[in-house]
Amino acid sequence: MAGPVASFRINDNQSLGDALHQYTNGSLNDAWSQAYYGYQVGGGLDIGSFGLDVRYQGNISDIAEIKDNGAKFSQGMKSWQITLAYRLF
């Protein structure tokens, strides 16, 4: 599996409804310009009733960026996800 990811930031003290209103109140282009972009790649294996999926998510754009006296600090979303499954039916 592989594909793009778009993420939108929600403030700590903000409800989901307020965040949706924030991103849908303006134009669609404004909402997409505030998004953070990344990618996911991974694969899976099924053996009988068991399944194993492994996925990596990397970032294309930074979530946060701070510039201070010529120095630049940034934060991105990089994560691994491993899923073990058992099929019941």
Q: Does residue 51 carry a pLDDT above 70?
A: yes
Average pLDDT over all residues of the chain? 82
- pLDDT of 26 > 70? The answer is no
More confident residue, 52 or 70: 52
Which residues have CB under 8 Å from 58's CB, separation 6+? 38, 39, 40, 76, 77, 78
Q: What is the C-alpha separation between 72 and 65, in angstroms, rounded?
A: 7
The answer to whether the CB of 66 falls within 8 A of the CB of 72 is yes
Mean pLDDT, to the nearest integer, of 6-27? 74
User: Of 80, 78, 79, 82, which is closest to residue 45 (Cα–Cα)?
Assistant: 82
Confidence of residue 44 (pLDDT cuts 50, 70, 90): very high
